[in-house]
Structure 1
Amino acid sequence: MSERIAEPVPGVDVPPRPRQPAGTRFQRVLRTISPRIVTGGGGGARRVAGPGEVVFAAGFFGLSLLLLLLLPFQTDWLPSTKLVVQPRFWPAVAIGAMLVFSGGHLLRALAAHPAGGAWAEIKGWLRPLEFALWFLAYVLLVPWSGYLLATVAFTSSLSWRLGYRSARWVLVATFFALCVVLVFRSLLGVNIPSGALYELLPPGGFRSFLMTRF
């Protein structure tokens, strides 16, 4: 007995061809990119955009457009060279695809009903920037205080920021910083600025030891 083909839902399913099961992956792709769904037409309910989706789509489209504008200045076009081996060809293909798909995403997001909570979603995206600023402050502190003191201050402060504020966790963070300094500075001999603070110490072997090992 032959398998019965599922009946398509009007306005949703694409009618199957003979001997083709309904609801194939290709049909789902067609339904996703159909103009009726992008524009919200066809009499059906418009989809709801996720929190911050319009902002994300606009940002990605703007980034793609910026890369396209910078393409002539960042890549070369060599005379008497085949197209597929041109330095500008494949970057142009990649950026062109980014521009097309991000533009389609932006149009689809603008056509959808906006969802609430966009600002809370954006704040969630910005939270990692705080920890990037912590690391930048650590990098700027190393040439002034030295690798050891800067690492101890960084790990202890970050431990406090993450909620581990007892004396036990401060000691754990300090011990971890000391281990990091011993491994990278003393054992591996990584070239790290010694710190302007060490210059205030009296000249001698102790200052030289701190400047070379810590």
Structure 2
Amino acid sequence: MNRVFTFLAMFRRERQPGDLVFAVGFFLVALVAALVLPAQAKFLPGKTLVAQPGFWPAVGVGMMVVFGAVHLLATVNAPRLPGRLKEVLVWARSLEFVAWFTAYVLSVPILGYLPATLALALGLALRLGYRSARALGSAALFALAVVLIFRTGLGVRIPAGALYDHLPDGLRAFALVNL
């Protein structure tokens, strides 16, 4: 049995509902990374190619572009399935948690590490449907443990919140160092 394959037939595969959106998005991100790579990763004179600071980032971004293009080509070549919008909306729902984290990061310099972490833990617990006092207490204890481990135990320096400026002097000094 003699088969003749075309170039596009080599890349034919079954498409999933959101593949085209993902393939286009990934390829565009890879192209943007390739465009900004020269400004981000330097090649220094007098060093071998593999010892260059920009060599491995260039390899990684180059592979992203190549495999992104192959995936896009294979996706465009596959028959379209219904349900693309439904799949993309499922992906978009996960962006809610990016918004939660962004709000947390932006609130730390204002509220302080402990109050922002407590607000995040309690807010996420409520968002996920936990309403009992035990569950909310566990979330608050988790937030307190995270702050104590990172700030006091590991000595991670996190900027104090502007809210701490309004505390009495003794409590303010304690909050600046430990909370």
TM-score, normalized by length of structure 1?
A: 0.67
Is 1:141 matched with 2:107? yes
Checking the alignment, whether the CA contact within 8 Å between 1:51 and 1:115 is kept in structure 2 is yes
Q: Tell me the residue number matched to 2:142.
A: 176
Checking the alignment, whether the CA contact within 8 Å between 1:144 and 1:195 is kept in structure 2 is yes
Shift of residue 67, structure 1, vs aligned partner: 3.0
Greater relative contact order (Cα < 8 A, sep 6+) = 2
Checking the alignment, whether the CA contact within 8 Å between 1:38 and 1:111 is kept in structure 2 is no
Give the % identical residues: 49
Checking the alignment, whether the CA contact within 8 Å between 1:147 and 1:192 is kept in structure 2 is yes
Is 1:209 matched with 2:177? no
Q: Deviations over 1:16-53 (max 9, x none)?
A: xxxxxxxxxxxxxxx8xx5252587xxxxxx5421111
Is 1:37 matched with 2:9? yes
Helix, strand or coil at the partner of 1:193: coil
Q: Which has the higher helix share?
A: 2
Q: Deviations over 1:128-182 (max 9, x none)?
A: 3221221221122222222222221110001011111222211111122222222
CA gap 1:135/1:64 in 2 versus in 1, 3 angstroms: closer
Q: Which has the larger radius of gyration?
A: 1
Q: Tell me the residue number matched to 1:43.
A: none
Distance (Å, rounded) in 2 between the aligned partners of 1:100 and 1:80: 29
Checking the alignment, whether the CA contact within 8 Å between 1:61 and 1:102 is kept in structure 2 is yes
Unpaired runs of 5+ in structure 1? 1-8, 13-30, 41-46
Q: Tell me the residue number matched to 2:117.
A: 151
Report the number of matched residues: 179
CA gap 1:187/1:164 in 2 versus in 1, 3 angstroms: same
What value does the CA root-mean-square deviation take over the aligned residues? 3.1
Unpaired runs of 5+ in structure 2? none
Shift of residue 89, structure 1, vs aligned partner: 5.7
